[in-house]
Structure 1
Amino acid sequence: MKNRRINELLVLCWLLFSFNSAAQAQEISSERQNVLRGSITEQRAWWDLQHYQLSVAVDIGEKRFSGSNLITYKVLSDVRELQLELQQPMVLVAAYQQDTKLAIRQEGYSYFITTVAANEVGKEYQLRVEFNGQPHAAKNAPWDGGVTWSEDGGGMPFIATSNQGIGASIWWPNKDHGYDEPDRGIDMFIEVPQPFVNVSNGRLVNVEDKQDVGSRIFHWQVKSPINNYGVNINIADYVNFSEVYQGETGPLDMDYYVLRENEDKARMQFKDVLRTMQALEHWFGPYPFYQDSFKLVEVPYLGMEHQSSVTYGNGYQNGYKGRDLSGTDWGLKWDYIIIHEMAHEWFANSITAKDIADLWVQEGFTTYAEGLFVEYHYGKQAGDEYQQGLRQNINNDKPVIGPYHQHKIGSFDMYPKGAALLHTIRQVINDDDKWREILRGLGTTFYHQTVSTAQIEQYIIDQSGKALGSLFDQYLRDNRLPILEFRIKGQQLTARWSNVIEGFEMPIRASIGEQEQWFNLTTQWQPFELHEGELVWDNNFYIAQAFLALQ
C-alpha cells in the first residue's frame, strides 16, 4: 500500500509539472512561437548539428514515450545558449553536459539550454536531454500529426508516428527547423514490448531481448543526413519480406514490413515499388540513400515520406484511396502512395526545403514525378494527359510560397500548381534531353542538402539558358493564372499576357495546321503573322485563354 501511495504521488507530481509547463506555454503568443520555430535564431545559428542518438521506450498501455537524446554538435560561434523544441504534453525533464545538469528556460515549447562553458569554435561537443510524456494523439494523420494508436485486425497494437506539418518535436526533442540536419545521421534505440516489432529509419543493426522486463530494443542506424520530420517509429506484429533492386549505383536492399494479415496483398501490390524506382532513377538520378537501404512500411494512416522508411496505408489499391486525382484514368494504373511517397526520397529527404515557406520544392516536384512515372511506363502523351488533368485541383487562392521565418506554408496548390509550373517550364525549354539533365543535375548538385526556392530557380535558369525569372515569380509568388488574350484577323494574330505581374513574359507554342509556331509574348500587344491552318494553343502550358472579338 505504501509503494502504491508513493507511485500515486509521483504520478501526481508529473501531472502537476506537465500542467505547469502547459500553462507556461500558454503565456506565449502564437506569433512569438511561430517566430521561434520558423526562424534561425541566435540560439540555433551558432551550432551545427552532427548526430542524434535517440532512445525511446514506448509504453503502449499508458500511451507514453520516455527517453533521451544525445546530441552531437559542432560550434560555429561563441554562444552558450542552445535552442531545442519539444511540444506539450511532452516534457523536457533535464539536460546534461559533462555530467553537469544544465539550466533551462522555456518559451512556449521552445527550450533554451545554457551549456557548461564557452564552447570552442570548430570543436564538437555533446549534450543529453531527457524527456517523457504522452505525445499528442493524431486524429487525422498524417495531416494533424502525432502518434496513431491503433490495432490490427486481430486486436494487436498497430502504432506509428507522423509529423510533417506539426513537427518532429511533437514527440521527441530536437532542433526543429528544416535548415539544419545531422550530418552523420541518427542512431535510434526503440524499446517496445515483446513480441512486437519496431521499424524505423535506416538499417537494423541489432535487436536486444530484455527477457527480465519482457521488452525488445531495436537499434536502427541512418548514416546520411536526415530531416527531423522524416524520423519515425512504427510498431506492430510485422512480417518482413525483401528483394534486391539492381540500380544505378548497384544493388539496393528493398525491405517490406506489413501486417501479418496483409502479407499476400502486399506481395502483389508492392510490385509497383521496383517499377517506381526504375522510373525515378531514370528522371532524377540514383536513389539518394543506398547506404541506408529502402523500406516500405504499412501504417494505420495514409502514408508519408519518412526517409528510407517510407510508410504506406493506401489499402492495397490503385489510385489515391481508389481515386484518380487527374481524372484521366492514368492514375488508376498504379498505387498513388507508393509513387508519390517514394519520389519524396529525392525531393524532401535528399533535397529538403530550409523553410517550410518553400515546401513546394518538396511537394511540387513530387507531384510532378507522378506524371513522369506515367510517361516512363505509358508514353509521353499519357504523361502529358496526367499532368494536364492534375490542374483541376488548383484553386489559385494564394501564393504557393508562404511567408518566410514564420513557420507558415503557402497555398496547398503547392502540389498541383508546383507540378504545373514544372511542366510549363519543360515546354519553354523545349528540349526533353536537356530537361532530364536538369532534373538529374538537381539531384547531384543539391544531394543531401537543405535548399531555398531561390537556389532551385537559379539552377534551372542557369542550366536551361532561359529567362524564367518572371515565370517563377508569377506561378509561385502570385496567385493569378496568366491569361492569353488574342485576336485574329486574316493571317495576323495580335496577342499579349494579362492577369500577370509587371514584366511577365513567356513564349508559348501553338500548332497551326500541320506546323508548329512559337510566339514570344509579353504584357504588350504584339502582332504576328500566322501560318495557314487552324490555330490551337499547346495545352501543356498552364494558362487561361481569352479570344477577343475584333472591335
Structure 2
Amino acid sequence: MLSVALRSSSLSVLLLGIAIPISAQTSQPTAPAPPPPAIKEPTPADLLRGSYGPYRANNDLLFYHLDLRVNPEKKFISGSNTIRFKMLADGTRIQLELFPTLQIDKIEMGKTSLKYERDGGTFFVDFPKPLRTGHTYSIDVHYSGSPVETGRFGCFTFKQDTSGHPWINTACEETGASVWWPNKDQWRDEPQDGMEINIAVPNGLMDVSNGKFIGKKDLGDGYTRWDWKVHYSINNYDVALNIGNYVHFDDKFGDLPLDYYVLPEDLDGAKRQFAQVPGMMKAYYHYFGEYPFKKDGYKLIEVPYAGMEHQSAVAYGNHFHNGYLDRDWTGVGISPRFDFIIIHESGHEWFGNAITAADKSDMWIHEGWTTYLECLYVEYNYGHEDEVKYVNALKKKVKNDRPIITAHGTNAEPPQDQYFKGALFINTLRSIVDDDARWFALIHDFYQHFEYQNIMTEDVEQYFNQQTGMNLTPVFDQYLRHTAIPALELKFDEAASTVQYRWKADEKAFAMPVRVGLKEHWETIHPTTEWQTMKTPLTEDQFEVATDLYYITVDKLAKQ
C-alpha cells in the first residue's frame, strides 16, 4: 500500500542521476532541522493488539471460512467465521480480535456454546476443558453489526457509484481486518491452508474477493452468494470484499489468468490501461520468478480509493491514467510512462503477500522492497540510466525524522520513510555488492528462499550477510534503526595531494565501500568510522562521490 500524503503543489523536477561535486553539496546553507515528531507511547490496547501474547502463541492458524451477508440499504453485515487451528501448547483460552462496534452473537465449538471475554477490540475464547497440544480444533464465531468507517480508506465503506448502485469495499491494512471480521488480527500467523470466502449480496450486484472464483448461488431471498477459494496462506488485512455493479473481462499471461472487474462506464479506459499488466508481470517474473498465487489467478478490481495490495485481488483506483492520481509521481518525467498503482500494488504480490513481515514494526519488508520493485520495473523497460534517475528522485520524499523500524509488539505504524528510504537503502546494498549479475541473482534467490514465509529484518540481514560474505549488520542498523543516514567526511590537503576520509554514523562499526574520484574512472574506497588517508591528483573541486549510487551525504571539513 502507498500511504503518502499528497500535496496540491506540483512536484519539482530535480537533476538527479549524476555524480555531484562535493563543493556543490556542501556550500549551501541549511535551515535548522525541525524537531523530531513525538513518538506515541503505546496504550494497553496497542500492546494487547501488537504483542504475540500467550493466547496467540499457544495455537497455529490453519484455516478460515468467512461467510457473510451484506445489506447495503441498512449498512449492516451478519455472518460467521469458522476458525480452524492446531494447539501448540495445552490451554483453555485463545485470543482473537473484533472491533467493539460489532456484536458477537455466539461462539460455538460443534454444538457446545463457548464463553468469551471482550477487552476493547480483543476477545478471549474460553474452553470448558483443556485443548491438547498437537490436536486440531474448530470454532464458529457468529457476529453482526454496522461497521464504522475509520482510517484513511474507511476500512469498510458503503458508497454508491455514479449510477447510484451500491459500491462497497474494504481496505484495512493500517487499522486492522478485525474492523469487519473476527480473526487473529496480527501478522505473524496466517491460515496455512488458505481460506474460503462466501459473500451474499443483493441480486444484481457482484462480490469480488480473494482467490479463485468457485461459483455463485441464488439464495432465493433476493440475495446471491459469491464463493471464492484462497489456496494459499493470506495476510488478514489482504482479505477483501468488493461489491458493486461490476463488469468482467479477462486476459492471460502465459498460463496465468488475468481477470479484471470495473464499473461499466470505465470499461474502455480499463481495457486500455490494464494492458500494462502483462508487461508488469514480465518484469517481475524476470527478477523474482513467477507469480506466487497462480492457483488463485491475478485480479485487478476498480475501487473508489487509490489502491491496495489485496492478495490475488489487487484494488485499483488510479483513474485509468499513468502516473499516480494524475501526477508525475517522482518529478523526473519517468512515472508518467506507466500506471503507478498497477506497478506498485501488484509488486506487493511478491513482497508483502508472498513474503510478509512477522510484525508491523518491520513493514519496510513490504514497502521498501515494493518501492524498489518500481525501480526494477523502470530498469527492465527503460534502462539503467532511467532507474538511477527514478530511485534518486525518491530522496526528496525522505524525512529522516525517526527510524524506519518501530518497537516490536506495539502495533506501531512505521513512518513513510519505510517506502522511499527503504528503497534507497536496497539500492545502496546493490552498490555495495558492486556486481549486477551477482546482485540480481542474490535478490532472486532471497525472494525464492523466503517465499510464503513471515520474516523479520533479522532474517533479511542474516541472509544477505551469509550470501555476500560481508558483515552488513551495521549497515542494516544504520539505515533502518537510526534516523540519520551515513555521512562521508572528507578533509583535503591539496599541497600533499591527499584526502582524509571516514564515515560519520551512529553505528561505531559502520563500514561501507563507496566510489569516489571521477565518474569516468571511479575508485572504490573502504571507509570506516576511523580516519584514513589516500593519495589523489584531484583537487577538492574535481573530487566526486557517486552519490547517485548510495544514499549518503558528503561533508567537506576544513583543514585543521
Give the TM-score, by structure 1 length: 0.91
User: Structure 1: which 5+ residue stretches go unaligned?
Assistant: 1-28
Q: For the Cα contact (< 8 Å) 1:347–1:361, is it kept in 2?
A: yes
Q: For the Cα contact (< 8 Å) 2:291–2:350, is it kept in 1?
A: yes
Among 235, 238, 251, the residue aligned to 1:230: 238
Aligned to 2:24: none
| TM-aligned CA deviation for residue 409 of structure 1 | 2.4
| TM-aligned CA deviation for residue 138 of structure 1 | 4.2
Among 287, 305, 311, the residue aligned to 2:309: 305
Residue 46 of structure 2 is aligned to residue 34 of structure 1:
yes
SS at match of 1:57: strand
| TM-aligned CA deviation for residue 323 of structure 1 | 1.9
Aligned to 1:408: 412
Q: For the Cα contact (< 8 Å) 2:42–2:412, is it kept in 1?
A: no
Matches of 1:195 and 1:218 in 2, distance apart?
12
Matches of 2:262 and 2:429 in 1, distance apart?
40
Aligned length, in residue pairs: 515
Residue 94 of structure 2 is aligned to residue 94 of structure 1:
no
Residue 56 of structure 2 is aligned to residue 44 of structure 1:
yes
Aligned to 2:160: 151
Aligned to 1:167: 176
User: Structure 2: which 5+ residue stretches go unaligned?
Assistant: 1-40
Cα separation, partners in 2 of 1:58 and 1:30, compared to 1, 3 Å: farther
Residue 358 of structure 2 is aligned to residue 350 of structure 1:
no
Q: For the Cα contact (< 8 Å) 2:478–2:505, is it kept in 1?
A: no
Aligned to 1:125: 137
Aligned to 2:475: 471
Q: For the Cα contact (< 8 Å) 2:68–2:80, is it kept in 1?
A: yes
Superposition pairs of residues 423-434 of structure 1, within 5 angstroms: 423-434=427-438
Q: For the Cα contact (< 8 Å) 1:148–1:300, is it kept in 2?
A: no
Matches of 1:486 and 1:511 in 2, distance apart?
12
Cα separation, partners in 2 of 1:138 and 1:240, compared to 1, 3 Å: farther
Aligned to 1:459: 463
Aligned to 1:194: 203
Matches of 2:252 and 2:401 in 1, distance apart?
44
Q: For the Cα contact (< 8 Å) 2:91–2:132, is it kept in 1?
A: no
Aligned to 1:256: 260
Q: For the Cα contact (< 8 Å) 1:201–1:221, is it kept in 2?
A: yes
Provide the alpha-carbon RMSD of the alignment.
1.4
Among 514, 528, 531, the residue aligned to 1:525: 531
Among 245, 253, 257, the residue aligned to 1:245: 253
Superposition pairs of residues 460-539 of structure 1, within 5 angstroms: 460-490=464-494, 491-512=497-518, 514-530=520-536, 534-538=542-546, 539=548
Richer in helix (by share) = 1
Matches of 1:410 and 1:263 in 2, distance apart?
37
| TM-aligned CA deviation for residue 30 of structure 1 | 6.6
Q: Deviations over 1:482-525 (max 9, x none)?
A: 11111222331211112433222111012426312011111121
Aligned to 2:66: 54
| TM-aligned CA deviation for residue 181 of structure 1 | 0.2
Aligned to 1:221: 229
Paired residue type of 2:54:
E
Aligned to 2:22: none
Q: For the Cα contact (< 8 Å) 1:513–1:535, is it kept in 2?
A: no
- Of stretches 63-72 and 523-532 in structure 1, the one that deviates more from structure 2 is 523-532
SS at match of 1:410: coil
Q: Which runs of 4+ in 1 moved over 4 A?
A: none
Give the TM-score, by structure 2 length: 0.90
Aligned to 2:558: 549
Matches of 2:150 and 2:278 in 1, distance apart?
31
- Of stretches 65-74 and 316-325 in structure 1, the one that deviates more from structure 2 is 316-325
Matches of 1:325 and 1:507 in 2, distance apart?
31
User: Percent identity of the aligned residues?
Assistant: 38
Structure with more contact order per residue of length (Cα contacts < 8 Å, sep ≥ 6): 2
Cα separation, partners in 2 of 1:525 and 1:80, compared to 1, 3 Å: same
Aligned to 2:89: 77
Paired residue type of 1:262:
D
Matches of 2:146 and 2:290 in 1, distance apart?
40
Q: Deviations over 1:181-211 (max 9, x none)?
A: 0001110010000100000000110100123
Cα separation, partners in 2 of 1:127 and 1:432, compared to 1, 3 Å: same
Aligned to 1:21: none
